[in-house]
C-alpha cells in the first residue's frame, strides 16, 4: 500500500485534539480561517502543544490576510513569530512570500528559512497565486522547503488536478506536494488516483451549535460581514477519520 500522510487545517486547540483522535499525521494550526489562515495566538499554540502527543504540530506564519507581499515591519513580525513558535515546541512552520511581480521572494524567504533552520517548512498557498508555478517550484526546492501546499492554482484541489499532476511529475521526489483546499471524503480518492500525490490537507470541520441561551442576532461582531456567531466551525474526529478512510479503503 502507498504511504499517505494526512494534515488537518485546525482552527483551534480543540480542532487539533479532534484531528489527532481522527488519525491525522499532523495539524496546521491557524487563526483567521475566513482569511485563509493567519498566525495563531500564543495560548492556542501552547495548549495545542500540550494536547498533541501522536500528531505533529505545524504553525502558520502569516501576519494578516490578503496578499503575500510583506512590508518591512510585517517581515519583522514573521521572524518574531517563527522564534516564538519554535520556542513553544512547534514541529514545523508554514509560510510563503511573493514579490510585487508575483515571483517567490527569494531574499525574504532565505531570511525566514535561516530562522527556521532544523525544522520542517511548508511553502503555503502563496504558491497558488504566483506568476509561474513551474519556476516557483524550482525556487522553492532551491530554498530547501520540505513541501508545498497547493490547490493547483484553482479554487479547489479537485479543480486543480491537471496542474497538480504536472507539478507532481516535475517535482520527481525532490519536494513533497501537499494537495489542499476543498479536499474531503468525496474527492480525496479521485485526486490521489489522478495526481499521484501522497499528502493531503483538509479541515474536516462541522458547524457546532452554540450553547448560548440568550441571543441578540441583530448585532454582528463582523460589522457588515455576516458570520454565523451562534455556530462554531470545529474539526471533528468523525470527519477526519471518514476522509482518511475514503482514500485508504480505495487503495486497499
Q: How many CB atoms lie within 10 A of CB 69?
A: 15
Instruction: State the pLDDT at residue 14.
Output: 96
Instruction: State the pLDDT at residue 225.
Output: 59
User: What stretches in the chain show pLDDT beneath 50?
Assistant: 1
Sketch the domain layout of the chain as residue ranges: 5-208+233-251
Tens of pLDDT along 146-165? Answer: 999 999 999 999 999 999 99
Instruction: State the pLDDT at residue 109.
Output: 98
Q: Nine-digit cell at 39?
A: 498566525
Tens of pLDDT along 207-234? Answer: 888 888 888 877 776 666 566 777 788 9
Q: Nine-digit cell at 112?
A: 525566514
What does the radius of gyration of the chain's CA atoms come to, in whole angstroms? 18
Instruction: State the pLDDT at residue 159.
Output: 98
Q: How many CB atoms lie within 10 A of CB 101?
A: 9
- Rounded to whole angstroms, how far apart are CA atoms 93 and 63? 13
- Topology classification of domain 5-208+233-251: TIM Barrel (3.20.20)
- Rounded to whole angstroms, how far apart are CA atoms 22 and 241? 5
Quick check: pTM over 0.95? no
Tens of pLDDT along 29-45? Answer: 999 988 889 999 999 99
Amino acid at each position: 500500500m502507498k504511504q499517505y500522510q494526512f494534515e488537518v487545517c485546525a482552527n483551534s486547540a480543540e480542532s487539533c485534539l479532534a484531528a489527532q483522535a481522527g488519525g491525522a499525521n499532523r495539524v496546521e494550526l491557524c487563526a483567521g480561517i475566513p482569511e485563509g489562515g493567519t498566525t495563531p495566538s500564543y495560548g492556542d499554540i501552547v495548549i495545542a502543544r500540550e494536547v498533541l502527543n501522536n500528531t505533529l504540530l505545524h504553525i502558520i506564519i502569516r501576519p494578516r490576510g490578503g496578499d503575500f507581499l510583506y512590508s518591512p515591519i510585517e517581515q519583522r513580525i514573521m521572524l518574531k513569530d517563527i522564534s516564538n513558535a519554535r520556542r513553544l515546541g512547534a514541529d514545523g512552520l508554514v509560510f510563503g512570500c511573493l514579490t510585487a511581480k508575483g515571483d517567490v521572494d527569494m531574499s525574504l524567504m532565505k531570511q525566514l528559512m535561516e530562522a527556521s533552520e532544523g525544522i520542517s517548512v511548508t511553502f503555503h498557498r502563496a504558491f497558488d497565486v504566483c506568476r509561474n508555478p513551474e519556476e516557483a517550484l524550482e525556487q522553492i526546492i532551491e530554498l530547501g522547503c520540505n513541501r508545498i501546499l497547493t490547490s493547483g492554482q484553482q479554487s479547489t484541489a479537485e479543480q486543480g488536478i491537471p496542474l497538480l499532476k504536472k507539478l507532481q511529475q516535475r517535482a520527481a521526489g525532490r519536494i513533497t506536494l501537499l494537495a489542499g483546499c476543498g479536499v474531503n471524503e468525496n474527492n480525496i480518492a479521485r485526486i490521489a488516483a489522478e495526481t499521484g500525490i501522497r499528502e493531503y490537507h483538509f479541515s474536516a470541520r462541522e458547524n457546532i451549535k452554540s450553547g448560548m441561551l440568550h441571543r441578540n442576532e441583530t448585532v454582528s461582531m463582523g460589522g457588515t460581514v455576516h458570520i454565523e456567531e451562534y455556530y462554531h466551525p470545529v474539526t471533528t474526529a468523525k470527519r477526519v477519520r471518514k476522509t482518511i478512510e475514503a482514500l485508504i479503503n480505495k487503495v486497499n
